[in-house]
Chains A and B, each alone.
Chain A
Amino acid sequence: ILNVEQSPQSLHVQEGDSTNFTCSFPSSNFYALHWYRWETAKSPEALFVMTLNGDEKKKGRISATLNTKEGYSYLYIKGSQPEDSATYLCAFRTTDSWGKLQFGAGTQVVVTP
């Protein structure tokens, strides 16, 4: 993997259902993996920053895991609500960058009542 890839590109979830999606990134020169939530017409909101292999982070009904050896992170949403509808972006930072983030194209989540 040379770039950050996110899958799926979009998904539709029924309210109350749980869902998860993937971010894949280069496993070499890993420094940090960021997750953002971006709602239409708003600023991207920082969810998590993860640095260590095996890291797990949780914020309310949203959680994330990190595997730096194989180069992937999962984001989970438990009991999806309409307000979870957004594009979820992951971004990868290498050890040799000044802080430059390399973003994936995002997973667009639509939660329907």
Chain B
Amino acid sequence: DTGVSQDPRHKITKRGQNVTFRCDPISEHNRLYWYRQTLGQGPEFLTYFQNEAQLEKSRLLSDRFSAERPKGSFSTLEIQRTEQGDSAMYLCASSARDYNIDTQYFGPGTRLTVL
């Protein structure tokens, strides 16, 4: 399977714990995005990487959130001191710029539940 993969698929944690999610994009894609979806809403943009550079961050991404893409391949999203409001589906997408229109291909997401 050469699609976008995310790990883990589900994570249950207690409030105050740190969690880290991983995203492996499609191998030749240089752009990587993180989104978050809460119940009844569409996905909301969190951050964007082009290669290893983090080029845009949403105001939704508080200081407790950090994302990295150290070698321009896989990416990690860490949430420190989790809160119940962090419970959501975290989606990763990747794209390769083609004729200025880049379709973003999504992974299956990581569902986080904070107790």
Contact = CB atoms under 8 A, between A and B. Distances in A.
Contacts of A102: 45
Contacts of B102: 99
A105 B107 CA distance: 18
Contacts of B103: 34, 46, 49
B48 A32 contact: no
A99 B48 CA distance: 8
A43 B106 contact: yes
B108 A42 contact: yes
Interface string A90-113: 010000011111111110000000
Contact of B4 (A4, A43, A98, A104): A43
A32 B108 contact: no
A106 B42 contact: yes
Contacts of A99: 31, 33, 48, 95, 102, 104
Contact of B42 (A43, A100, A104): A104
